[in-house]
Structure 1
Amino acid sequence: MSNAVLNGLAGAGGGIIAQIITYPLQSVNTRQQTERVAKKSQSQGSSGGTLVQMLQVIRSEGLGGLYSGLKPSLLGTATSQGIYYYFYQVFKNKAESIAAANKRKGHGDGTVGMLSWLVVAALAGALNVLFTNPIWVLVTRMQTHTQAEQKILEAKKEALIRESGFIGSSLHDKLRELDSVKPNPYGTFQAAYEVYNEAGIRGFWKGIIPTLIMVCNPSIQFMIYESSIKHLKKKRADKKQSSIKVSALEVFLVGAIAKLGATVTTYPLLVVKSRLQAKQEISTNNSLRYSGTMDAIVKMIHYEGFSSFYKGMSTKIVQSVFAASVLFMIKEELVKLYALLANKILLLKLSK
């Protein structure tokens, strides 16, 4: 098995485990990102911290509400991590061979520089985005469906109170009738049908522009990660330690630091992407509905202020840093396990 395929499979395995562990945080974070409250209403729009919001979801939707969209999300994670790590390893191998060739010609020390790491990660990330964006559109829709349905119901109630001639108990009965309406089942196929009805095939690539720009997130992450690991190994080699191998705990910590730096840098783009991919009825105010990336950015600044670009960032930092740390650690351990098994199989063959 080639090291590109091995890293792809290990990345997919690590990604699935990390996703399952941190999914409730991701689900709540998507709701935080897509919540739209104009400046004049922001004092009324706060819905508490992450833990409070998680409890609200459990109270209104049950525990399953925190895992809405988990199935396509796991598919997306496995596909995304598999594609990313496969192409990352392919491009990494190429970059290392170019660096080695340059050393033979008397240029450089044979190691891959920071800029090369950025290019490698960016290329792998761009291919990953183009292949998997439709899956993440469906995941976002499923995570925010209940939120959108509640907003639609609130708008109907407001219209009924404002426009109808009902008074007293008649109005109360009508409002109670609206409350009793059960939402239609909403799964992956329903989400796909809704997206297609709204915008056709193009709808599955909503948010592709900020998502492609966000390729710099894993680029920054891997630049920090690879440079830090390289520094650790070099430091140990300089001290002439018996082993320059990096432990699972060190991989976990370096992965956390790398993801933290990348998340803080690119978070505003993630908010824009989530808002474009969510159902636009999530806002009852037409001024807070978006037709494209620039329209979203301009309206967010004008109606909600710059703080809207950082909604839910604390939740995202906890979720993404922990998920990335788990992913890196498990991926590296899976690669080591495969190498160990391959060596044992080889020794058994040689002993026969």
Structure 2
Amino acid sequence: MSDALINGLAGAGGGIIAQLLTYPLQTVNTRQQTERDPSKCTRTDGTLRQMYLVVKNEGWGRLYGGLKASLVGTAASQGVYYYFYQIFRDRAESAALARFRKGTGDGSVGILQSLLVAALAGCVNVLLTNPIWVVVARMQTHKKTRKETTAVDGLPAVLHPVPQPALVENSPYKTSQVVHELYNEAGFLGFWKGVVPTLIMVSNPAIQFMLYETLLKNLKKKRATNLKGADGLSALEIFFLGALAKLGATIATYPFLVVKARLQVRPKVENDKRRQYKGTLDAIRKMIKYEGAWVLYKGMSTKIVQSVFAAAVLFMVKEELVKAAHLVVTGGLSLGLVRPSKPKPSRLSR
């Protein structure tokens, strides 16, 4: 089994576990990003308060709206990302070693090369999996509503002694309904709504991996170890390295995440031109003009908590799965237990 496939499967497994643990926060964050009525989503409402309101008004199930589609998207995204990341990483490392043999460089992949590798893998991931995330965004923002009040026995419902009425679902709700609605609304290209800011958001995992591998390299250098990858580090250390890397990346790129969510969800008021966006730049212009510049950071505190924790869990689980897979498949050879006779320059984590 190739390292690329091992890393792809491990990334998918880590992503699924992280998704299950943090999905309610994702749902609340998507609603914060796309809510355009200040009276319903103010800056004073905390994450826990908004989670409580969702549960109170719509039930526990709404915190997990679109979970099945999201798990498919997570497995696909993480699998595709880590698979192509490893392929591009291997080529970058081979090139670095070739330069080292010619007397140029130290044989390791530099920061800019790490950034390029992560960006290329991210672009492939976005183009292949964007349709899944459009569907997930719409399902996360789908809300239960109350029926219009009606007359009962000749009296207005508000005067009738029987409580009126129960919460009911409004379409779309099922994945198939969302897919059908999206296709009727914008055709095949509708499944790539928000792809431009999403491609720009590729810088998020690129920055994340650059920071992660820089932190990892520095930590290993302090310990004077040349073990491959994250070998020699505990799961808790990997957890904190992943958390710090994701924190920096999220703060830098959050506005594009808000724009992406706005482009992917369906406007509540179809004929309101202020809420209809022709593209990324038009969305940014209208959001700032009608809602203020602060809207580009709407829900960021929730996203930081969710993404940092999810990334930390993902890195920790992925590295442990990779180590286990290497032990099973290669009997420990690729874990550095058997050293080559000639010294090789240290290599960054995969």
TM-score normalized by the length of structure 1? 0.85
C-alpha distance in 2 between matches for 1:5 and 1:244: 19
Who is 2:345 aligned against?
none
Q: 1:66 aligns with which of 43, 49, 63?
A: 63
C-alpha distance in 2 between matches for 1:282 and 1:236: 58
C-alpha distance in 2 between matches for 1:239 and 1:226: 14
Who is 2:34 aligned against?
34
For residues 1-56 of structure 1, the C-alpha deviation after alignment (integer angstroms, 9 at most, x for no partner) is 0000000000000000000000000010000000113xxxx467527211111111
C-alpha distance in 2 between matches for 1:182 and 1:3: 46
For the 8 Å contact 1:233–1:244, the answer to whether it is kept is no
1:342 paired to 2:339:
no
For the 8 Å contact 1:36–1:283, the answer to whether it is kept is no
For the 8 Å contact 2:70–2:133, the answer to whether it is kept is yes
The code of the aligned residue for 1:212 comes to L
Which has the larger share of helix?
1
Question: Where in structure 2 are the equivalents of 1:18-33 lying within 5 Å?
Answer: 18-33=18-33
Tell me how far 1:232 sits from its aligned partner.
1.2
For the 8 Å contact 1:145–1:279, the answer to whether it is kept is no
Who is 2:11 aligned against?
11
Q: 2:189 aligns with which of 192, 202, 219?
A: 202
Change (3 A) 1:103 1:268: same
C-alpha distance in 1 between matches for 2:100 and 2:219: 22
C-alpha distance in 1 between matches for 2:105 and 2:268: 56
Q: 1:130 aligns with which of 109, 119, 127?
A: 127
1:52 paired to 2:32:
no
Who is 1:166 aligned against?
none
Tell me how far 1:288 sits from its aligned partner.
2.5
1:216 paired to 2:203:
yes
Q: 1:112 aligns with which of 109, 112, 128?
A: 109
For the 8 Å contact 1:272–1:309, the answer to whether it is kept is yes
Q: Figure out how many residues of one structure are paired with residues of the other and give that number.
A: 324
The code of the aligned residue for 2:11 comes to G
C-alpha distance in 1 between matches for 2:77 and 2:231: 31
Who is 1:164 aligned against?
none
Q: Structure 1 regions of 5+ residues with no counterpart?
A: 158-168, 347-352
Tell me how far 1:264 sits from its aligned partner.
0.4
* Percent of paired sites with the same residue: 61
SS of alignment partner, residue 187 of structure 2: helix
Change (3 A) 1:299 1:177: farther
C-alpha distance in 1 between matches for 2:269 and 2:238: 40
The code of the aligned residue for 1:50 comes to T
Who is 1:90 aligned against?
87
1:253 paired to 2:250:
no
SS of alignment partner, residue 146 of structure 1: coil
1:279 paired to 2:276:
no
SS of alignment partner, residue 108 of structure 2: coil
1:331 paired to 2:328:
no
Change (3 A) 1:305 1:345: closer
1:2 paired to 2:10:
no
1:289 paired to 2:286:
no
For the 8 Å contact 1:287–1:299, the answer to whether it is kept is yes
Who is 1:165 aligned against?
none
C-alpha distance in 2 between matches for 1:107 and 1:329: 34
Tell me how far 1:291 sits from its aligned partner.
2.5
Change (3 A) 1:256 1:178: same
Tell me how far 1:179 sits from its aligned partner.
8.1
